[in-house]
Amino acid sequence: MPDNNYDIAILGGGCAALNFAMTFTKSNIEKKIVILEQREYYQHDRNWSFWFKNDDKNFEHKDIIKKIWPYWQFSDESNLVRHQGIYYSYATIAAEAFYKKAEMMIAKDPRISLCMNSTIDNLTIDETTLQYRINVGENIFTARNIIDTRNMNYGSIKNHASFYQIFLGYEIETDEDFFDPQCVDLMKDMICTQDGLSFLYILPFSSRSALVEYTIFTSIFKSPNEFEKKLHAFMNTHYKDHGYKILHTEQAVLPMGEVSFKKETRSNFFHAGGHSGALRESSGYGFLNIYNWSQQAVHALKENKKTPRANQSNNFMNFLDRHFIKTLKLYPHESTIIFKKKKKNMRADNFARFMNGDIKFLDILRVIMAVPKGPFLRALWR
Ligand SMILES: Cc1cc2nc3c(=O)[nH]c(=O)nc-3n(C[C@H](O)[C@H](O)[C@H](O)COP(=O)(O)OP(=O)(O)OC[C@H]3O[C@@H](n4cnc5c(N)ncnc54)[C@H](O)[C@@H]3O)c2cc1C
């Protein structure tokens, strides 16, 4: 085999690609993989949070969990709802630790090549051999199978979705103790604005450091930078007296609700990750879905079976998520009530299970019972 010929080429080297690669290193599958990533090097660009099942002994990234919180809470101007899970906690993995772990594991595995600084310019298929030809600058890679994990840019998200989660966040450090390191603010100061439902998302890593994000669920596409003033105003009101410095910025526009994804019909081309349905339509959470997908995908490869779908939700969950977003779109002024009731009326563990997509029939009934019926049912007929 010439050097640039692989069994599998993974386009993009982010969360899905690296989760797949790390799982692959634990297998004895005799295949050659190349990961083509456009970035020159990895740097801390996000924190992945999810609900962690306290007794989960098999989770492969326990070693890099940055922080686990037993409590999470939601608030608006008049109410505060606090959850404490018995079986679930809220957890965060920092991207810097994840990328470092992935690079170390890949470096030890001669079957995987991670090529940084490799922007994919063009992809073609030879119809006789069914080999893909991937152009990366002057270099050409060939592969029998493709896993495309390249993320959508903002322009493409704008065109393919009609509802968005937009956020801008700062990781900060204060001079004095200020944060409660036991409790996450999932939705603080929820408020219906002209643009949509806005709130603050605060992950206190210690009593002196936190990620503070201004977030909005909206039908109006905007760049996260447009919320800089609002975030600064919040920070200055709450943290200025405690002397804070910004350590790192993270931002995103994530699609919510139904997204039209590219479908590839060839059996040797797979889409994976956020651009292909791995993000929950009602929340944008995707890390656990992607992790679970990577475990199943490597297992399928070993067993010579079909690669699983990136979207890990069942049809009913997809319907619920889509309907929930439709309700928010149709009745934006009722969104704080919808969220408040949903959180207030659900037990912490049921809520965590629902958010993780690890849902049982009874949980589905609980979600339906928890939201205000008026807008939710009215939206069914619109
Ligand atoms: C800032 C941020 C915070 C998030 N926080 C959470 C969270 O707390 N919890 C959660 O569950 N989910 C979260 N998500 C959602 C989701 O889990 C992440 O977006 C996740 O990283 C998606 O993984 P992915 O592999 O699909 O995409 P990415 O991790 O974005 O990887 C895609 C890769 O493709 C590369 N690429 C793109 N185009 C090319 C090209 N032409 N050639 C070569 N490479 C290319 C990119 O450089 C990138 O490395 C967050 C998303 C963002 C953006």
C-alpha 345 to ligand 1 mean position (Å): 32
Going by C-alpha positions, the residue among 260, 167, 179, 259 that lies closest to residue 217 is 167
Question: Distance, CA 158 to ligand 1 centroid (Å)?
Answer: 16
Contacts 24+ apart (CB under 8 A), 357-362: 357/280, 357/288, 357/289, 357/312, 357/313, 357/317, 358/53, 359/317
Identity at 349, one-letter amino acid code: D
Cα separation of 382 and 379, whole Å? 5
Q: Terminal CA-to-CA distance of the chain, rounded, Å?
A: 57
CA-closest residue to ligand 1 atom 23: 15
Question: What does the DSSP 8-state code read for residue 2?
Answer: -
The pLDDT value recorded for residue 377 is: 60
Structure-token pair, residue 70: 């037993």
Print pLDDT tens along the chain (382 aa).
447 999 999 999 999 999 999 999 999 999 999 999 999 999 999 999 999 999 999 999 999 999 999 999 999 988 899 999 999 999 999 999 999 999 999 999 999 999 999 999 999 999 888 899 999 999 999 999 999 999 999 999 999 999 999 999 999 999 999 999 999 999 999 999 888 999 999 999 999 999 999 999 999 999 999 999 999 999 999 998 889 999 999 999 999 998 877 777 787 999 999 998 899 998 999 999 999 999 999 999 999 998 898 887 788 788 888 888 888 888 877 777 777 776 677 888 988 988 887 777 676 766 676 666 666 566 666 6
Q: Name the residue of 149, 157, 186, 356 whose CB sits within 8 Å of the most ligand 1 atoms, as the mutation to test its pocket.
A: 149
CA distance 253 to 146: 26
Ligand 1 atom having least distance to the Cα of 45:
1
Q: Are 153 and 181 in contact (CB under 8 A)?
A: no
Atom from ligand 1 closest to the CA of residue 287 = 11
d(CA 82, CA 100): 34
What is the reported pLDDT for 1?
42
Q: What are phi and psi of 120, to 5 degrees?
A: -80, 120
What domains are there in the chain, each with its CATH number? 5-46+93-155+258-302 (3.50.50.60), 162-256 (3.30.9.10), 315-381 (no CATH)
- Name residues contacting ligand 1 (CB within 6 A): 12-17, 36-39, 46-50, 118-120, 149-151, 250, 252, 273-275, 279, 284-287, 290
Which residues contact residue 22 at a Cβ distance below 8 angstroms, ignoring those fewer than 6 apart?
60, 101, 102, 105, 106, 294
